[in-house]
Amino acid sequence: MRAITLVNKGGGSVAEGVADRIGEALAAAGVDSEVVLVEGKDCAARAADHVKQGVELIIAAGGDGTMGAVAGELAGSQSTMGILPLGTLNHFARDLGIPGDLDEAARVIAAGSARAIDLAEVNGRSFVNNASIGLYPLMVMDRDAQRQSLGRSKRLAMLVASLRTMARFHARRLTLSTDGGEARVDTPLLFVGNNDYEVALPAAGQRKSLDAGELCVMVMRSKTLPGFLAATGRALLGIRRPDDMVKLEGVRRLNVDSPRSHLTVAMDGETLALPPPLVFRIRPGALKVMAPAQARLGKA
Protein backbone atom coordinates (compact mmCIF):
# COMPACT_ATOMS: atom_id res chain seq x y z
CA MET A 1 0.00 0.00 0.00
CA ARG A 2 1.36 3.40 -1.02
CA ALA A 3 1.66 5.65 2.06
CA ILE A 4 2.66 9.20 2.98
CA THR A 5 2.96 10.69 6.47
CA LEU A 6 2.26 14.38 7.01
CA VAL A 7 3.74 15.77 10.22
CA ASN A 8 2.53 19.14 11.49
CA LYS A 9 5.89 20.51 12.55
CA GLY A 10 4.35 23.39 14.45
CA GLY A 11 1.61 21.61 16.39
CA GLY A 12 1.14 19.91 19.71
CA SER A 13 4.23 18.36 21.27
CA VAL A 14 6.18 17.93 18.03
CA ALA A 15 9.90 18.21 18.82
CA GLU A 16 13.13 18.25 16.87
CA GLY A 17 13.96 14.88 15.36
CA VAL A 18 10.33 13.73 15.43
CA ALA A 19 10.33 12.91 11.70
CA ASP A 20 13.12 10.38 12.21
CA ARG A 21 11.38 8.95 15.25
CA ILE A 22 8.11 8.56 13.29
CA GLY A 23 9.91 6.94 10.39
CA GLU A 24 11.55 4.44 12.74
CA ALA A 25 8.26 3.59 14.46
CA LEU A 26 6.45 3.04 11.16
CA ALA A 27 9.30 0.97 9.71
CA ALA A 28 9.45 -1.20 12.83
CA ALA A 29 5.70 -1.81 12.49
CA GLY A 30 6.08 -2.74 8.83
CA VAL A 31 4.68 0.44 7.25
CA ASP A 32 6.68 1.80 4.31
CA SER A 33 5.93 5.52 4.27
CA GLU A 34 7.64 8.74 3.29
CA VAL A 35 7.60 11.18 6.23
CA VAL A 36 7.15 14.86 5.37
CA LEU A 37 7.25 17.84 7.74
CA VAL A 38 4.52 20.34 6.86
CA GLU A 39 3.46 23.73 8.22
CA GLY A 40 0.10 23.47 9.97
CA LYS A 41 -1.60 25.85 7.53
CA ASP A 42 -0.49 23.64 4.62
CA CYS A 43 -1.64 20.25 5.96
CA ALA A 44 -5.01 20.31 4.18
CA ALA A 45 -3.55 21.34 0.83
CA ARG A 46 -0.83 18.69 1.00
CA ALA A 47 -3.39 16.03 1.91
CA ALA A 48 -5.58 17.09 -1.01
CA ASP A 49 -2.63 16.80 -3.40
CA HIS A 50 -1.89 13.26 -2.25
CA VAL A 51 -5.54 12.26 -2.58
CA LYS A 52 -5.46 13.46 -6.19
CA GLN A 53 -2.29 11.42 -6.74
CA GLY A 54 -4.11 8.30 -5.58
CA VAL A 55 -2.13 7.72 -2.38
CA GLU A 56 -3.94 4.90 -0.60
CA LEU A 57 -2.85 5.64 2.98
CA ILE A 58 -2.31 9.18 4.26
CA ILE A 59 -1.06 9.31 7.84
CA ALA A 60 -1.62 12.47 9.89
CA ALA A 61 0.81 13.17 12.74
CA GLY A 62 -0.16 16.02 15.05
CA GLY A 63 -2.99 17.24 17.25
CA ASP A 64 -6.73 17.40 16.72
CA GLY A 65 -6.49 20.46 14.47
CA THR A 66 -4.19 18.53 12.14
CA MET A 67 -6.55 15.55 12.18
CA GLY A 68 -9.50 17.74 11.18
CA ALA A 69 -7.59 19.41 8.36
CA VAL A 70 -6.44 16.11 6.85
CA ALA A 71 -9.73 14.30 7.44
CA GLY A 72 -11.65 16.98 5.56
CA GLU A 73 -9.61 16.33 2.42
CA LEU A 74 -9.81 12.53 2.68
CA ALA A 75 -13.57 12.39 3.29
CA GLY A 76 -15.44 10.77 0.43
CA SER A 77 -12.22 9.69 -1.31
CA GLN A 78 -10.56 6.30 -1.81
CA SER A 79 -7.74 7.23 0.57
CA THR A 80 -7.60 5.87 4.11
CA MET A 81 -6.38 7.92 7.07
CA GLY A 82 -3.79 6.77 9.57
CA ILE A 83 -3.44 8.57 12.90
CA LEU A 84 -0.32 9.31 14.95
CA PRO A 85 -1.44 11.44 17.92
CA LEU A 86 1.19 14.07 18.76
CA GLY A 87 -1.03 16.79 20.20
CA THR A 88 -1.73 17.88 23.76
CA LEU A 89 -5.12 16.20 24.24
CA ASN A 90 -5.68 13.97 21.17
CA HIS A 91 -9.45 13.60 21.68
CA PHE A 92 -10.04 12.12 18.22
CA ALA A 93 -7.41 9.41 18.61
CA ARG A 94 -8.61 8.58 22.12
CA ASP A 95 -12.23 8.18 21.04
CA LEU A 96 -11.10 5.83 18.26
CA GLY A 97 -9.16 3.72 20.74
CA ILE A 98 -5.79 4.65 19.23
CA PRO A 99 -2.99 4.60 21.84
CA GLY A 100 -0.95 7.70 22.58
CA ASP A 101 2.32 5.80 22.40
CA LEU A 102 3.93 6.33 18.98
CA ASP A 103 5.09 2.74 18.50
CA GLU A 104 1.70 1.33 19.47
CA ALA A 105 -0.12 3.79 17.20
CA ALA A 106 2.14 2.76 14.32
CA ARG A 107 1.23 -0.88 14.93
CA VAL A 108 -2.47 0.01 14.72
CA ILE A 109 -1.83 1.48 11.27
CA ALA A 110 0.15 -1.59 10.24
CA ALA A 111 -2.68 -3.90 11.32
CA GLY A 112 -4.62 -2.63 8.32
CA SER A 113 -8.08 -2.55 9.91
CA ALA A 114 -9.95 0.24 8.10
CA ARG A 115 -13.34 1.39 9.33
CA ALA A 116 -15.79 4.02 8.10
CA ILE A 117 -16.68 6.80 10.56
CA ASP A 118 -18.67 10.02 10.41
CA LEU A 119 -17.34 13.50 9.81
CA ALA A 120 -19.05 16.77 10.72
CA GLU A 121 -18.76 20.10 8.95
CA VAL A 122 -19.84 23.73 9.16
CA ASN A 123 -20.12 25.78 5.97
CA GLY A 124 -18.05 23.17 4.19
CA ARG A 125 -15.23 23.10 6.79
CA SER A 126 -14.77 19.69 8.39
CA PHE A 127 -14.22 18.87 12.04
CA VAL A 128 -13.55 15.52 13.69
CA ASN A 129 -14.49 16.44 17.27
CA ASN A 130 -16.69 19.45 17.88
CA ALA A 131 -17.41 23.09 17.14
CA SER A 132 -18.76 25.73 19.50
CA ILE A 133 -19.97 29.33 19.60
CA GLY A 134 -19.81 31.60 22.63
CA LEU A 135 -17.43 31.39 25.59
CA TYR A 136 -15.11 28.66 24.39
CA PRO A 137 -13.92 30.36 21.17
CA LEU A 138 -13.02 33.45 23.22
CA MET A 139 -10.95 31.28 25.55
CA VAL A 140 -9.13 29.66 22.63
CA MET A 141 -8.27 33.01 21.05
CA ASP A 142 -6.96 34.35 24.38
CA ARG A 143 -4.98 31.13 24.93
CA ASP A 144 -3.33 31.30 21.51
CA ALA A 145 -2.48 34.99 21.95
CA GLN A 146 -0.76 34.23 25.27
CA ARG A 147 1.22 31.37 23.77
CA GLN A 148 2.41 33.55 20.91
CA SER A 149 3.28 36.68 22.91
CA LEU A 150 4.30 35.21 26.28
CA GLY A 151 5.37 31.67 25.39
CA ARG A 152 3.09 30.09 27.98
CA SER A 153 2.26 26.40 27.91
CA LYS A 154 -1.07 25.43 26.40
CA ARG A 155 -2.56 24.37 29.73
CA LEU A 156 -1.44 27.47 31.67
CA ALA A 157 -2.58 29.80 28.89
CA MET A 158 -5.99 28.09 28.82
CA LEU A 159 -6.38 28.46 32.59
CA VAL A 160 -5.65 32.19 32.42
CA ALA A 161 -7.89 32.58 29.37
CA SER A 162 -10.76 30.80 31.16
CA LEU A 163 -10.58 33.17 34.14
CA ARG A 164 -10.45 36.26 31.93
CA THR A 165 -13.31 35.07 29.73
CA MET A 166 -15.51 34.39 32.73
CA ALA A 167 -14.88 37.95 33.90
CA ARG A 168 -16.55 39.27 30.74
CA PHE A 169 -19.27 36.63 30.61
CA HIS A 170 -22.18 37.30 28.24
CA ALA A 171 -24.69 35.44 26.08
CA ARG A 172 -25.10 35.31 22.31
CA ARG A 173 -28.44 35.71 20.55
CA LEU A 174 -28.83 32.97 17.96
CA THR A 175 -31.59 31.52 15.78
CA LEU A 176 -31.42 27.74 15.53
CA SER A 177 -33.22 25.79 12.81
CA THR A 178 -33.53 22.02 12.40
CA ASP A 179 -36.07 19.70 10.82
CA GLY A 180 -37.97 20.01 14.08
CA GLY A 181 -38.51 23.76 13.77
CA GLU A 182 -36.91 27.09 14.64
CA ALA A 183 -36.08 28.78 17.96
CA ARG A 184 -34.42 32.01 19.07
CA VAL A 185 -32.08 31.56 22.02
CA ASP A 186 -29.80 33.65 24.20
CA THR A 187 -26.92 31.40 25.21
CA PRO A 188 -23.34 31.68 26.43
CA LEU A 189 -22.47 28.41 24.69
CA LEU A 190 -23.70 26.43 21.70
CA PHE A 191 -21.94 23.07 21.30
CA VAL A 192 -22.10 20.92 18.15
CA GLY A 193 -20.33 17.57 18.23
CA ASN A 194 -19.47 14.92 15.68
CA ASN A 195 -21.67 12.23 17.30
CA ASP A 196 -22.92 12.16 20.87
CA TYR A 197 -20.74 13.39 23.74
CA GLU A 198 -20.89 12.29 27.35
CA VAL A 199 -21.41 15.18 29.78
CA ALA A 200 -21.22 13.58 33.23
CA LEU A 201 -18.05 12.42 34.98
CA PRO A 202 -16.07 10.20 34.72
CA ALA A 203 -16.62 10.03 30.94
CA ALA A 204 -17.20 13.78 30.35
CA GLY A 205 -15.99 14.83 26.92
CA GLN A 206 -15.86 11.32 25.50
CA ARG A 207 -17.87 9.57 22.78
CA LYS A 208 -19.15 6.02 22.69
CA SER A 209 -19.60 6.07 18.92
CA LEU A 210 -18.26 7.84 15.86
CA ASP A 211 -20.63 6.22 13.39
CA ALA A 212 -24.14 6.93 14.71
CA GLY A 213 -24.79 9.50 11.96
CA GLU A 214 -25.97 12.36 14.19
CA LEU A 215 -24.76 15.70 15.49
CA CYS A 216 -24.61 16.31 19.23
CA VAL A 217 -26.27 19.71 19.75
CA MET A 218 -26.33 21.23 23.23
CA VAL A 219 -27.50 24.72 24.17
CA MET A 220 -26.56 26.20 27.54
CA ARG A 221 -29.56 28.05 28.95
CA SER A 222 -28.01 29.84 31.95
CA LYS A 223 -27.39 33.52 31.10
CA THR A 224 -25.48 34.57 34.23
CA LEU A 225 -22.00 33.52 35.34
CA PRO A 226 -23.16 31.95 38.65
CA GLY A 227 -25.91 30.09 36.80
CA PHE A 228 -23.47 28.92 34.12
CA LEU A 229 -20.97 27.60 36.69
CA ALA A 230 -23.72 25.88 38.68
CA ALA A 231 -25.17 24.29 35.52
CA THR A 232 -21.73 23.08 34.46
CA GLY A 233 -21.13 21.52 37.87
CA ARG A 234 -24.50 19.76 37.83
CA ALA A 235 -23.86 18.43 34.32
CA LEU A 236 -20.50 16.95 35.36
CA LEU A 237 -22.19 15.25 38.32
CA GLY A 238 -24.92 13.84 36.09
CA ILE A 239 -27.64 15.99 37.66
CA ARG A 240 -30.08 17.05 34.94
CA ARG A 241 -32.24 20.17 35.09
CA PRO A 242 -34.24 21.24 32.04
CA ASP A 243 -33.33 24.91 32.55
CA ASP A 244 -29.57 24.18 32.54
CA MET A 245 -28.86 22.77 29.11
CA VAL A 246 -31.06 21.69 26.23
CA LYS A 247 -29.91 18.75 24.13
CA LEU A 248 -31.44 18.44 20.67
CA GLU A 249 -31.89 14.81 19.64
CA GLY A 250 -31.63 13.24 16.18
CA VAL A 251 -30.05 16.26 14.48
CA ARG A 252 -28.32 15.68 11.15
CA ARG A 253 -28.39 19.30 9.97
CA LEU A 254 -28.45 22.53 11.99
CA ASN A 255 -28.70 26.13 10.75
CA VAL A 256 -27.44 28.89 13.06
CA ASP A 257 -28.22 32.52 12.27
CA SER A 258 -27.29 35.73 14.04
CA PRO A 259 -27.62 39.51 13.59
CA ARG A 260 -23.81 39.70 13.73
CA SER A 261 -21.79 39.94 10.53
CA HIS A 262 -19.51 37.13 11.70
CA LEU A 263 -19.58 34.45 14.39
CA THR A 264 -16.39 33.18 16.01
CA VAL A 265 -16.34 29.39 16.00
CA ALA A 266 -13.94 27.14 17.88
CA MET A 267 -13.42 24.00 15.83
CA ASP A 268 -11.19 21.14 17.01
CA GLY A 269 -9.35 23.58 19.28
CA GLU A 270 -8.78 26.29 16.69
CA THR A 271 -10.83 29.40 15.90
CA LEU A 272 -12.18 31.03 12.76
CA ALA A 273 -14.73 33.73 11.96
CA LEU A 274 -17.58 32.72 9.67
CA PRO A 275 -20.47 34.80 8.28
CA PRO A 276 -23.91 33.50 9.28
CA PRO A 277 -25.96 31.59 8.62
CA LEU A 278 -23.82 28.67 9.71
CA VAL A 279 -24.86 25.30 8.33
CA PHE A 280 -23.74 22.29 10.36
CA ARG A 281 -24.22 18.79 8.99
CA ILE A 282 -23.10 15.23 9.60
CA ARG A 283 -21.55 13.12 6.85
CA PRO A 284 -22.22 9.48 7.79
CA GLY A 285 -19.39 7.06 7.01
CA ALA A 286 -17.51 9.68 4.99
CA LEU A 287 -14.05 8.94 6.38
CA LYS A 288 -12.04 5.72 6.36
CA VAL A 289 -9.56 5.41 9.23
CA MET A 290 -7.13 2.82 10.50
CA ALA A 291 -8.32 1.98 14.02
CA PRO A 292 -8.34 -1.02 16.37
CA ALA A 293 -10.84 -3.52 15.05
CA GLN A 294 -12.53 -3.94 18.44
CA ALA A 295 -12.04 -0.35 19.64
CA ARG A 296 -14.40 0.70 22.39
CA LEU A 297 -15.01 4.32 21.55
CA GLY A 298 -14.77 6.76 24.39
CA LYS A 299 -12.14 4.65 26.21
CA ALA A 300 -8.48 5.60 26.29
Task: Please give the pLDDT value at position 49.
Answer: 98
- Identical fold for domains 3-112 and 127-283, yes or no, is no
Number of Cβ within a 10 Å radius of residue 8: 26
Question: What is residue 141's predicted lDDT score, i.e. its pLDDT?
Answer: 67
User: Residue 137's pLDDT band (boundaries 50, 70, 90)?
Assistant: low
Residue 273 confidence (pLDDT): 93
* pLDDT surpasses 70 at 16: no
At residue 15, the pLDDT reads: 57
When mean pLDDT is compared over 16-25, 106-115, 159-168, the highest value belongs to 106-115
Reported CATH class of domain 3-112: alpha beta
Per-residue pLDDT, 75: 97
Give me the phi and psi of 280, to 5 degrees please. Answer: -95, 140
Where do the domains of the chain lie? 3-112, 127-283
| pLDDT(294) > 60 | no
CATH of 127-283, one of 2.60.200.40, 3.30.2130.10, 3.40.630.30, 3.40.50.150: 2.60.200.40
Q: What is the pLDDT of residue 297?
A: 46
Q: What is the pLDDT of residue 300?
A: 37
Cα–Cα dist 125/141, whole Å? 19
